[in-house]
Structure 1
Amino acid sequence: MDICLFAGTANVPLARAVAERLGVGLGDALVRRFADGELHVLIRESVRGRDVYLVQPTSPPADEHILELLFLADACRRAGASRVTAVVPYFGYARHDRRASGREPVGARLVADLFSAAGLSRVVALDLHSAALEGFFSTPLEHLSAAPLLSEAARPWISERSVVVAPDLGAAKLADRHARLLRLPVAVVHKTRLSGEDVRVHAITGDVRGRSPLLIDDMISTGGTIEAAVNALLSAGCAPDIAVVATHALFVGPAVVQLSALPVLRFIVTNSVAAAACPALPIELVRLEGLLAEAIRLLHDGRSLEALLAHGEAASPPR
């Protein structure tokens, strides 16, 4: 059973790099819109009996990229693919994991159900916003982590005065993983979100005075959480050499303007989503194709992914 790799339009360069690592060509698929805006997907090669992997982060615009993935999955299933696995480096609607008030949908659960309805055999995701999302999927889910790769990229910039900082309680577990990899202490910023862009910090747990913060989060969206955390750390007397590490660099809305005004020396992020040009920010890009190609290779061969999983023991990162 041969590997067959297709890409949606969300991050074609990443899909192409993964295919190159695997030594296969990127599959021939047409993904376009009709004049009325409706989506048209056509698989232009045989997938009958093949092990198909669809590389598609559901990044902004999330609705369009989710529908592309669903159409690709359905097309491959109907064309006789033996297995269809979605490789979703960034999972949109991950923050819609509960109802903040009484009359809201649980968007993450609905999207997970749509993945199952499309006939996917398995989903591979990376650093989900909450580990609890794993329980939303009836389709088997492999939850990978980029923490080993990101920690290695951050290692040259740390010192004995460094401290890993979670910008909110939701990032505490991810920050703890980085702290164990780097053998550093941890601090946590306690915040309240006032709106999609505005955040208020209440307190900081842990010693940050005179220390160099390494802020850890799963994503940077509008930059509001990072901005509030940086200002709180500076007020608490931290050293001015601040670094930010995040898996998913969305940089939407006012993010670039807000973040470029902060005294952050570097942003270490991955290529899980298509990188926008941000010359105003000192960005160091960590590439994921080695990790994703290794996960695909292990799945195809029926071997364990334990060393790559978010809850597994940290191992040397694939390169």
Structure 2
Amino acid sequence: MTLQIVAGSANPALAGSVAGKLGRELASAVVERFPDGELRPVVDGLQGADVYLVQPTGPPVNEHVMELLLLVDACRRAGAARITTVLPYFGYARQDRRGRAGQAIGVRVVAEALASAGTWRLIVVDPHTVALEAICAVGVEMVTAVPLLARELGAGPLGAREQDRAVVVAPDLGAVKLAEHYGALLSCPVAVVRKTRLSGTRVVAEELVGDVRDRPVVIVDDMISTGGTIEAAAQVVAGHGAAPEIVVVATHGLFVEAAVERVNRAGIRRVLVTDTLAQPAAPAMPLGVCSVAPLLADAIGRLHRDEPLDDLLARA
């Protein structure tokens, strides 16, 4: 089977970079849009191919999910032998359990829809839920950008001098394992903030476990959405005497609603994310972007050759 890379409209630059690293051109794909908002993707030249469809489902999430489902179906109808959906960012992954009766489990609904449309396998970068593999009816390869980001930290905003003194901070209990991963890669101790979420945008951070006094701090999370969690964590570590050189690292930078204002208000020196979601060329905050194109190209190349991904996979 020939290898083909198809790009959705959510992040064509990333898909192009992935294709370039694999020595390929992007397959022909056009998403036609009707005046009433309907989408009609058209793809060509996929007969008998091993297709990797790159489409993060970030904001606007619903439109990108619908486009992705239609693209999968278009690839299937174009004769693709197998279709792997590459979701650098998987919208709805946070909806992995019910908070009360009557709530939908969004991640399962989207995963089942992708399987029904013709997806054979998923590649996801640092999904919000480690249960994704158990939830999905198709195979899931959960790769991680943490080593890439840790290397970028050591070479840039943190540096060897500050790395010797730095503390990695989990902004909530859900990020402890992630913080421990960064801590191991950077040889840094870990501290944990305990928070209470009041709503989708309001977070109260209440206490800190660990010592950050007079030390540079690296706050880590899988994503930055509204910035509420990051702002609250930054206030807590500052209140415990951390050095002012606060760095924030996350795989996915959504930056919705007042996120940019919150980051700037918190006095954060540097925010480092990846390009799983397209980022502005001139951000209104101190933003650095690390590309996951090499990671995705490596994963795609190995899967196409039926090789294992063990060293690329996210920790459970």
| TM-score (ref. length: structure 2) | 0.96
Residue in 1 aligned with 2:6? 6
Does the 8 Å contact 2:82/2:120 carry over to 1? yes
Tell me how far apart the structure 1 counterparts of residues 114 and 211 of structure 2 sit (CA, whole Å): 43
Residue in 2 aligned with 1:256? 260
What does 1:1-319 correspond to in 2, within 5 Å?
1-43=1-43, 45-156=44-155, 157=158, 158-277=162-281, 279-311=283-315
Q: What's the CA shift string for 1:23-42, capped at 9, x where partnerless?
A: 11111111122111111111
Deviation at 1:112, TM superposition (A): 1.1
Q: What's the CA shift string for 1:32-63, capped at 9, x where partnerless?
A: 221111111111x2211110010000001111
Shift in alpha-carbon separation, 1:278–1:222, aligned structure 2, 3 A: farther
Residue in 2 aligned with 1:316? none
Q: What's the CA shift string for 1:194-222, capped at 9, x where partnerless?
A: 11111011211111222211000010111
Q: What's the CA shift string for 1:239-286, capped at 9, x where partnerless?
A: 111100010011110011111122211111100001124533111110
- What SS does the corresponding residue of 1:131 show, helix, strand or coil? coil
Q: Which runs of 5+ in 1 are unaligned?
A: 313-319
Give the % identical residues: 49
Deviation at 1:67, TM superposition (A): 1.1
Letter of the 1:290 counterpart: P
Q: Which runs of 5+ in 2 are unaligned?
A: none
Does the 8 Å contact 1:219/1:246 carry over to 2? yes
When structure 1 is superposed on structure 2, of 110-119 and 153-162 the one drifting more is 153-162
Letter of the 1:175 counterpart: A
Q: What's the CA shift string for 1:3-32, capped at 9, x where partnerless?
A: 111111000100111111111111111112
Shift in alpha-carbon separation, 1:297–1:215, aligned structure 2, 3 A: same
Does the 8 Å contact 1:130/1:170 carry over to 2? no
Letter of the 1:123 counterpart: L
| TM-score (ref. length: structure 1) | 0.95
Question: Runs of 4 or more off by more than 2 Å in structure 1?
Answer: 276-280
- What SS does the corresponding residue of 2:196 show, helix, strand or coil? strand
Does the 8 Å contact 1:245/1:267 carry over to 2? yes
